[in-house]
Amino acid sequence: MLNQIKSMIDESSETMKLCGKLAPQTGQAAELIINALKDNKKIILAGNGGSSEMSAHISAEFVGRYKLERKALPAISLATDMAAVTAIANDYGFDRIFERQLEALGNEGDVFIALSTSGNSANLIKAAEKAKKMKIEVISLLGKGGGKLKNSSDVEILIPSDNTPRIQEAHLMILHTICELVENKMFGK
């Protein structure tokens, strides 16, 4: 068991090191978010499974705080309103759960962040397509080669891994980095 633990930790560390090459895309994503927030726009996030919880987590970092005491920033996760998710899934199909909410809550100039380890989630693909039609900027955090979401975003952060847990760990690290960049630029020293 100790060898397995060491192997998993080593793999995670190596994936994180490889993410250093994603600094330009991470900076671009932070700038999109900063510009939107300065224009009184909001950040909208979505994902499935563990990525849905991550979208809620990051939304809370913007609304509450990350590290700095500052005013609340407008952000929402489309994965948290279970009444909307289940009603839309029942009436329109699971593929439209994020698209319908984005249509209702999104405005031109907002930023939509799609979290997908595979890049093949139909509901995120439809939401990204809707966002583009609504002139909402799209940031995608992906893995496993990017899937169908690859090349369909304004900023694409593609984790160099095929292992879902390592991709999710890297997504969280990247999103925390973005939160810190946003806070420092808008409210820091």
Which pLDDT belongs to residue 188?
A: 86
Give per-residue pLDDT as tens, 18-57.
999 999 999 999 999 999 999 999 999 999 999 999 999 9
Which pLDDT score, from 0 to 100, does residue 110 have? 98
Q: Partners of 139 in the beta sheet?
A: 113, 155
Token pair listed for 85: 């998710």
Which pLDDT belongs to residue 15? 95
Measuring CA to CA, which residue among 124, 120, 119, 102 is closest to residue 111? 102
pLDDT of 189 > 80? The answer is: no
Cα Rg of the chain (Å, integer):
16
Quick one: pLDDT at residue 149?
A: 95
pLDDT band at 100 (very low <50, low <70, confident <90, very high): very high
Beta strands in 78-154 (DSSP E): 111-115, 137-142
CA distance 174 to 168: 10
Give the per-residue pLDDT at 71.
96
Residue with tokens 């509450």: 64
Express as a percent the part of the chain with pLDDT over 90.
99
The domain 32-187 belongs to what CATH superfamily? Glucose-6-phosphate isomerase like protein; domain 1 (3.40.50.10490)
